[in-house]
Amino acid sequence: MTELYHWFDLIGVAVFAVSGTLIAYNKKMDGFGVVVLAIVTAIGGGTLRDVILDVPVFWLHDQSYFIAILASVFVTTRLINKQRSIPYYHLQIADAFGLSFFAVMGVQKALLAGMPSTTAIIMGVITACFGGVIRDVLAGNIPMLLKGELYAIACIAGGIIYTGSIYFGFVTELAMILAMLTTLILRFAAVKWQLTLHVFKYPD
């Protein structure tokens, strides 16, 4: 089971590294900027989660995370240089998959650390969202977390599905799949139909 969690972590890291690389391309950053943005996107949220939970930071003694990040950067930059144009929805797709993986992995790790369900769901949101927040701040954008269509809400929904499934006795693998699908589908639906939580009434 630990090996399964590790592979899910690596997949989430790789996907978020792709989204960081795409933002770096849009901002015309140099090679160092690309790598920095990919790294902070991929491991920023998980690092903050581990610091808050007071557990060993997940990447300190495992170089496989950086191998996954650098591999993602290499493949993405090669594809971009061949295609010369990357539609914005590619970024949204990569980001949505990263959210679905990391939201569930954050919840799962918090539960293993003995946290109650509410705290675990918050840790899932931090894991999934705050790497993207750091990415957007460094790139000079308003973070998707603050204005994106149901960004954090999708993570919360996935966290609720995961903790609820575990509570009702679902096997862990099924709970993870259900939660990831919930997060992914909700995020895709929000982007497609521009679903947001409106508070203010804007003229447009």
Res. 202: pLDDT tops 80: no
Instruction: Report the percentage of the chain scoring pLDDT > 90.
Output: 78
Domain assignment present for residue 202? The answer is: no
Average pLDDT score over the chain? 92
Band of pLDDT at residue 204, cut at 50, 70 and 90: low
**Whole-number Å distance between alpha carbons of 49 and 122:** 9
Structural domains counted in the chain: 1
pTM across the whole model: 0.93
Q: Which long-range contacts (CB under 8 A, 24 or more apart) does 24-31 make?
A: 24/139, 25/77, 25/80, 25/86, 26/86, 26/91, 26/139, 27/139, 27/140
Domain assignment present for residue 204? The answer is: no
Domain assignment present for residue 172? The answer is: yes
**Helix-strand-coil percent breakdown of the chain, rounded to 5?**
80, 0, 20
Domain that holds residue 134: 2-193
Band of pLDDT at residue 162, cut at 50, 70 and 90: very high
Domain assignment present for residue 198? The answer is: no
Domain assignment present for residue 156? The answer is: yes
